[in-house]
Chains A and B, each alone.
Chain A
Amino acid sequence: MSMPDHPDTFIESLVDDLKPVATLRQSTGMVRALIALAAGVIAIVAAFGLRPELVRGHLDPLFLISSGLFLVLSLATAWSVIDMARPFVGTRRDGWAWTALMAAVLPGAALGSLIGNMLRGQHAAIDRGGVFCLVFGTAIGLITAAALVLWLRRGAPASPTRAGFYTGVAAGAAGIFAVSLHCPHNDLIHIGVWHGGTVILSGLLGRLTLPHLLAW
């Protein structure tokens, strides 16, 4: 649309162009984020199967705590992202950060454990099998990232940089939650380094790559 010079003519041209619009509802956005997360879970389970202990009905406490934290982190951050599509001066959207801090206990504890092992002169091993979790967690997170980016592009995120970072965190946490349903590891160092690392990597990727897609 060209921009006429006279203010009245300009407003008339906008009014002439008016079409009914469906408002962006938080609940609709969350349903989409949940569908994306479920699609990621289905993709991982269909491609690689469930972790053996889940099939047997035995649930390891560390698995329950870590995957629960990543699930809550994904949902809390997705909630913030979805709300960012509706700009509003004075709104705080940092509630997700407390969940992120809780989830950060995992890589923090893993780091502490690694350092402790080294100080005791023990071999501080980081299993390289965790690359699978990092790669597939990030890749499956793309489903959630796509859903959130499409949602944000319908709206008007006032800070594309922050929205990109939040989207990356939500996507990485969703992806690693899905992968954790397959990943057979129950040790703190694997979960802290590789699963926590997936969320950090996705957040950085979102921060670096998404802002130009979200500018309006």
Chain B
Amino acid sequence: MLADEASLSRLAALAQRGDRQAYAAMLTACRSWLLRYYRRKVAPEVIEDLVQETLLSVHRKLASYDPGRPLMPWLAAIARYRFIDHLRCAYRSAGEAELDDDTTDGHDQAVIARLSLDRLFEALPDAQQRAIELVKIEGLSISEASVSTGQSESLVKVNIHRGLRRLAALIERL
């Protein structure tokens, strides 16, 4: 069970002063929260890695916590940053995996990336999904995507713009 906000803020303030016991308690509470946070967003295989990456960022950026504010919004901001970074890396891994079919790890990464993206894509209308998928993921030109989808070129552009804006808003809310 998570400690209340005031206790967590006190633990974080003590950790900033070098109190290891308080720091261990704070990290354990953060870990519980992060497990729940990422469970709703990414494939189960990557949750532990992402939680540990985020805890490492918490460790490196401990000075950026303001003890006068609640801890959880600070942790949530760091978790969101790591999540977006993870999506970016997953995109890149997916692209590299397509270039190298022999790499089993790369293939796994691509599948995991697709799982994460597919969850986000569910929130988009089909036309926006298709436009983003063709142009931003598969690398087609606007005119090629226009032919493939039957949308006009300007509609493809509008759908990409609206879809990306919606995805960004979705990630902000997650």
Which A residues are closer than 8 A to B by beta carbons? 1, 3, 5, 7, 10-12, 14-24, 85-91, 154-156, 158, 216
Contact = CB atoms under 8 A, between A and B. Distances in A.
Contact of A14 (B16, B59, B66, B81): B59
Contact of B52 (A10, A88, A156): A10
Interface residues of B, number: 35
Interface stretch (B18-26, B106-114, B146-154): B18-26
Contacts of A11: 24, 27-28, 31, 55
Chain B interface helix/strand/loop/mixed:
helix
Given A11-B24, A14-B56, A87-B74, A23 B66 contact: yes
Contact of B57 (A17, A22, A156): A156
Contact of B76 (A12, A85, A89): A89
A82 to B, nearest CB: 11
Given A3-B52, A87-B78, A158-B77, A21 B16 contact: yes
A7 B52 contact: yes
Contacts of B17: 20
24 contacts: A5-B48, A7-B48, A11-B24, A14-B55, A14-B59, A15-B23, A18-B20, A18-B23, A20-B18, A21-B16, A21-B62, A23-B63, A24-B63, A24-B64, A85-B64, A87-B74, A87-B81, A88-B66, A88-B73, A89-B76, A154-B63, A156-B64, A216-B57, A216-B81
Interface string B1-36: 000000000000001111010011001100100000
Among A1, A23, A85, A158, residue most surrounded by chain B Cβ atoms (within 10 Å): A23
B172 to A, nearest CB: 9
Contacts of A156: 57, 61, 64, 77-78, 81
Chain A interface helix/strand/loop/mixed:
loop
B66 A86 contact: yes
B41 interface: no
Contacts of B31: 7, 11
Given A3-B56, A10-B55, A11-B55, A88 B69 contact: yes
Contact of B73 (A5, A89, A155, A216): A89
Interface in B35-61: 48-49, 51-53, 55-57, 59-61
B91 interface: no
A97 B112 CA distance: 40
Contact of A18 (B18, B76, B78, B80): B18
Contacts of A17: 59
A5 B49 CA distance: 8
Given A3-B49, A3-B56, A89-B80, 19 more contacts: A1-B56, A3-B52, A11-B31, A14-B23, A14-B55, A16-B20, A18-B15, A21-B62, A23-B63, A85-B64, A86-B74, A87-B64, A87-B77, A87-B81, A88-B74, A89-B73, A89-B76, A156-B57, A158-B77
